[in-house]
Amino acid sequence: MLSVLLALFLVPSFVSQEQRVVERRFTSELELATDSFEIEAAEEGKSVSQQGPRLQREEAFEAEIADTLFDDQRPPAKFTRFYRTVMSSLSLSGDGVPREKTASAGLEGKRVTFERSEGRYARSCEDAEVPAFQLNRLRADLSLARFLPPEDQDEGSASYTVPFADFFRLLAPLEERPRRPHAKTPSAPGGLNLAPTALTEPIAVLLWGADGELTVTPRARAEGDDLPRNAELAFRFEGAFDGSATLLAAGPGEAEDEVEFVYSGTGHLAWDPEDGRIALHCEGEVRLDESFKVSVEANGKEGHARGRLGMTGTLELEASEEHGE
């Protein structure tokens, strides 16, 4: 009899711990081209001014992530995240300077456990190849519910806004603040080896700390809509990025660098309150304007350079969320 009573008490507890899975997918595609590129360089009393090459920059990112939840808290107190797909690529082409790089951030196929303690998530991974510093930078909250209307807002009511801090998860679903180490390559004897930030930094790094917000305007369901609730999106984000720390590729020196940026556009948000599906699409124009100045000393010679770089193009973002059993 005792065993039967214990079983009756334990069943509800077991059911409350039933695992649920949330599947999320993030993609981005960036295309930029130089509008202007001017460089002035001086070395050993000689100076030259010239136009830089016209360059085409393409960047793509894809992440497929599955979260296994162990509780019903919002946000969950504990979950395990499987990074099914993590792939990024960056290519630079034009005037004889082809460059292409593809990477998986070392997370693809890895499983990381997030467990909240005193308001912050501790992260752990059974795979020792994932270093602790990378685990500590991982973004925990990836819920797309941040884009939905407030709970106290009626269906089909007025517009509302989403801050850039929440929008940024579309640009950087892996890390709270994305960073990428830069390899140093030696310069030619007595020369300068510049790597303008607008050409080399991932777009998520450049747009970090932007000002602005996303405006969401609900609308009635229209023919062709896949989900019952829909809204139109409009956004404008702008700001500046200091790239002086990564501008030089020639070793010790002094550098000043600023990249001013604007990303503005429109999009569409759709969701189903019944099954939790959410789909989001944004597309807009990116404008990057960089000005830089550097001074270096190599092989007993001093060199100085300054320049301006302007690039424009498009950035497309997509994200989706589905709740499994």
Model confidence band, residue 208 (pLDDT cutoffs 50, 70, 90) = very high
Question: How would residue 19 be classed by pLDDT, with cut points 50, 70 and 90?
Answer: low
Spell out the residues 6+ positions from residue 34 whose beta carbon is closer than 8 angstroms to its own.
52, 53, 54, 55, 56, 94, 309, 310, 311
- Per-residue pLDDT band for 159 (boundaries 50, 70, 90) equals very high
**Lowest-confidence range among 179-188, 199-208, 255-264?**
179-188
Give strand ranges (E) for the chain.
20-43, 46-51, 56-69, 78-93, 99-103, 111-117, 120-125, 160-163, 211-219, 229-241, 253-271, 278-298, 301-323
Q: What is the pLDDT of residue 8?
A: 34
Domain positions in the chain are 15-323
Record the tokens describing residue 313, joined without a space.
């193009």
- pLDDT reported for residue 165: 94
Helix/strand/coil for 45: coil
Please write the tens of the pLDDT for every residue from 85-104: 999 999 998 876 667 788 88
Mean pLDDT to the nearest integer, 110-116: 96
pLDDT at residue 98 in the model: 64
For residues 38-52, give the mean pLDDT. 83
CA-closest candidate to residue 69, choices 101, 110, 114 = 114
